[in-house]
Amino acid sequence: MPQEAQRTNDFVIKFANVNGSGSASANALFAKSILRMGVPVSPRNIFPSNIQGLPTWYEVRVSEAGYLGRRGGVDLMVAMNPQTWDQDVAEIEPGGYLFYDSTRPIPKSKFRDDIHVIGMPLTEICNREYSDARERQLFKNIIYVGALSALLELDLKEVEKLIGEQYKGKEKLLEPNIKALHMGRDYAASFLPSIDLKVKRVDKVGNRIFLEGNSAAALGAVYGGATVAAWYPITPSSSLAEAFARHCRKYRVDPNTGKSRFAIIQAEDELASIGMVIGAAWNGARAFTATSGPGISLMQEFIGLAYFAEVPAVIFDVQRGGPSTGMPTRTQQSDVLLCAYASHGDTKHVLLFPADPKEAFDLGAQAFDLADRLQTPVFVMLDLDIGMNERLCEPLEWNDAHHYDRGKVMSFQDLEAGKEFGRYLDADGDGIPYRTYPGTHPARGAYFTRGTTKDRYARYSEAGLDYVENMQRLLRKFETAKQHVPKPELRAARHPTRSAVLYFGSTAPAMQEALDRLTEQGLHLDALRVRAFPFTDEVSEFIAEHDQVFVVEQNRDAQLRMLLVNECVIDPAKLIPILHYDGTPITARFIVAEIAQQMNALKVAPLRRVAP
């Protein structure tokens, strides 16, 4: 048995369950109990594209240091699914723990010698206590939470309090749950050995909040002033549209009339969804759709029209593994190129890359200002890891002094005063023309919206000169976009270094831990988190300042790297891809191993300060 150290507030516990068995709420209860003890946790659902009967996992990172990414490896496996037994047992770290239902004997060959095995006859206890089949199943989950609370020394008061909050108003359910919790805890205290994984109350959570990225992004849409949402159900984005509906019912019903200040349409497909968004935005409402990669593929034609006709649109892309029947419940960052250059003809689009729910809210709201300011589609690039997991993040904030930026819209007064209106006229030299909402003025400002067969006054034209002028203006507009999109976030190394790493989106939390581990190994890297496309000057300057730059992504083809090479005109040899794309969220260990191996192979000597 390898040497063990007491691991307090720093370990990984994974629950292997069968989906549809009611384990999700028990597991969430477990994670939240630790949070209430002031210890940061980061749970992740790893689930199948199925409703009942297939394997599902819930991996909880417990980290007093505040690492919210996946670390890699499992210290305690709660193996409740015989289907995945072998795989689950194999994943445990040497010296780690296997907690399992020992009601039925399992042959010795099914275990490992280098792990601790803790058996508890969960089925037997349930069968003795409950006669109803559903109760047996549901309470089994609460009983193992009770047992774990004893093993890990969780504060029972916190667990009970959470159960109380969950069943507020349903007191009939409260009592049996508390009883099951105690049953598990008492059994563990009497019969199970002590383990070296512990949770100890600290104060490291602060005032942070715990919520899902999809819900936060939807709230961003409410705060950002979206009134029209058109969507088509697709995992992992459906919960974003549903959260928008929930938030709207709470915040957007006129208290005097009971009428809605929002319209949500579940469309017949993604084509209709984006069509409605474009129609609404053309007519001056703020509108969005939520979808995933296959939906973006279906929206291509319309996205191009919106680009050329310069209609604002906000598209939340909750990325997953492709293609359409691919891995709908697995996470990836593999729509970067799809969205950056979506549609036919010469197009480029604004992308935003939130890293956590707080940023999903902030950028989700900002996307509407950007879309109106730039009169173009804006993509908010979420992924399943951010969207469908509860994540600890800073509390949401809003500046009440902020006014929506509706961009360049000519009013009745402007038109009446005789201000020159040319729908595609670059009046200010920033590439952004003025628009009018339909119905503004009886005699001025009406125009006909179409793709590219037009001149600067929106008159029909197939002349090459008019086309080129328009396309050049669109490039100027994309240049202007750089002044408006969020800037990247720098984390400078402790020592001067010529090595660097670029990353974005949901890779952020694993990167924080990876950078700390690499520093411990004497490998120093400056790190830049890209938050938007088009890339602002800071990104190309950062690359120029370093000899080699690792680009960490969760896709096979190094899509962000391709975009950097292409758009910033960078020697590809300088950008070293670090790619994780098996559908599970990237881990700190993966990043550390890949970067360390490459840096050691390149024999990177730390830069020394020049003596004065």
279 binds another protein (CB under 8 A): yes
Residue in the block written with tokens 């759709």: 289
209 binds another protein (CB under 8 A): yes
Q: Which of 211, 355, 514, 532 binds another protein (CB under 8 A)?
A: 211
Select the span of 101-109, 179-187, 224-232, 503-511 touching another protein (CB under 8 A). Answer: 224-232
**CA distance between the termini of the chain:** 53
Give the total of residues touching another protein (CB under 8 A): 71
Residue in the block written with tokens 């009939």: 172
344 binds another protein (CB under 8 A): no
Q: Which of 227, 332, 506, 587 binds another protein (CB under 8 A)?
A: 227
Q: Which is nearer to another protein, 172 or 403 (CB)?
A: 403
**Measured from the CB of residue 457, what is the shortest distance to another protein in angstroms?**
13
600 binds another protein (CB under 8 A): no
Q: Which is nearer to another protein, 105 or 448 (CB)?
A: 448
Q: Which of 283, 566, 597, 600 binds another protein (CB under 8 A)?
A: 283
Select the span of 40-48, 222-230, 529-537, 587-595 touching another protein (CB under 8 A). Answer: 222-230
**Measured from the CB of residue 403, what is the shortest distance to another protein in angstroms?**
6
Select the span of 144-152, 267-275, 481-489, 505-513 touching another protein (CB under 8 A). Answer: 267-275
3-state secondary structure 492-546: CCCCCCCEEEEEEHHHHHHHHHHHHHHHHCCCCCEEEEECEECCCHHHHHHHHCC
278 binds another protein (CB under 8 A): yes
Sequence-ordered list of residues with C-beta below 8 angstroms from that of 436, at least 6 positions apart, any chain: 409, 410, 415, 421, 423, 445, 446, 447
Query: For residues 430 and 415, what is the distance between their CA atoms, to the nearest angstrom?
Result: 21
Query: For residues 348 and 342, what is the distance between their CA atoms, to the nearest angstrom?
Result: 7
164 binds another protein (CB under 8 A): no
Query: For residues 266 and 271, what is the distance between their CA atoms, to the nearest angstrom?
Result: 12
Q: Which of 47, 187, 223, 424 binds another protein (CB under 8 A)?
A: 223
**Measured from the CB of residue 380, what is the shortest distance to another protein in angstroms?**
18
Q: Which is nearer to another protein, 191 or 460 (CB)?
A: 460
**Measured from the CB of residue 583, what is the shortest distance to another protein in angstroms?**
28
520 binds another protein (CB under 8 A): no
In the window 46-105, what residues touch another protein (CB under 8 A)? none
360 binds another protein (CB under 8 A): no
Main-chain dihedrals φ then ψ at residue 70, nearest 5 degrees: -80, 140
Query: For residues 282 and 284, what is the distance between their CA atoms, to the nearest angstrom?
Result: 6
- Give the x-and-dash track for 380-419 against another protein (CB under 8 A): ---------------xxxxxx-xxx---------------
**Measured from the CB of residue 68, what is the shortest distance to another protein in angstroms?**
15
**Measured from the CB of residue 450, what is the shortest distance to another protein in angstroms?**
4
301 binds another protein (CB under 8 A): yes
Select the span of 13-21, 39-47, 128-136, 279-287 touching another protein (CB under 8 A). Answer: 279-287
222 binds another protein (CB under 8 A): yes
**In this structure, are residues 73 and 95 in contact, taking their beta carbons and an 8 Å threshold?**
no
Among 139, 143, 118, 141, smallest CA distance to 197 is for 118
570 binds another protein (CB under 8 A): no
Q: Which of 201, 208, 456, 498 binds another protein (CB under 8 A)?
A: 208
Helix (H) or strand (E) holding 609: none
The b-or-e profile of 313-333 (16+ CB within 10 A means b, else e) is bbbbbbbbbbeeebbbbbbbb
Q: Which of 197, 267, 318, 381 binds another protein (CB under 8 A)?
A: 267
470 binds another protein (CB under 8 A): no
User: Identity (one letter) of the amino acid at 102?
Assistant: S
Among 280, 290, 279, smallest CA distance to 221 is for 290
299 binds another protein (CB under 8 A): no
Q: How far is CA 194 from the centre of its chain?
A: 37
Select the span of 103-111, 166-174, 330-338, 440-448 touching another protein (CB under 8 A). Answer: 440-448
Handedness of CA 589, 590, 595, 601 (dihedral sign): positive
By three-state DSSP, how is residue 567 classified?
helix
169 binds another protein (CB under 8 A): no
449 binds another protein (CB under 8 A): yes
**Measured from the CB of residue 148, what is the shortest distance to another protein in angstroms?**
22
User: Identity (one letter) of the amino acid at 543?
Assistant: I
Ranges assigned E (strand) in 202-330: 209-212, 228-231, 263-266, 287-291, 313-319
4 binds another protein (CB under 8 A): no
- Give the x-and-dash track for 303-322 against another protein (CB under 8 A): --x-----------------
Helix (H) or strand (E) holding 371: helix 357-374
Under DSSP, the state recorded for 130 is -
441 binds another protein (CB under 8 A): yes
**Measured from the CB of residue 404, what is the shortest distance to another protein in angstroms?**
6
Q: Which of 89, 92, 218, 276 binds another protein (CB under 8 A)?
A: 276
Q: Which is nearer to another protein, 454 or 561 (CB)?
A: 454
Sequence-ordered list of residues with C-beta below 8 angstroms from that of 376, at least 6 positions apart, any chain: 306, 307, 310, 311, 312, 313, 349, 350, 477, 481
In the window 247-266, what residues touch another protein (CB under 8 A)? 251-252, 254, 257-265
**From residue 413, how far is each of 114, 354, 423, 443, 444 by CA, in Å?**
79, 39, 17, 12, 11
Query: For residues 612 and 609, what is the distance between their CA atoms, to the nearest angstrom?
Result: 9
Query: For residues 113 and 389, what is the distance between their CA atoms, to the nearest angstrom?
Result: 34
- How crowded is residue 545: how many other Cβ atoms within 10 Å of its Cβ? 11
Under DSSP, the state recorded for 380 is E
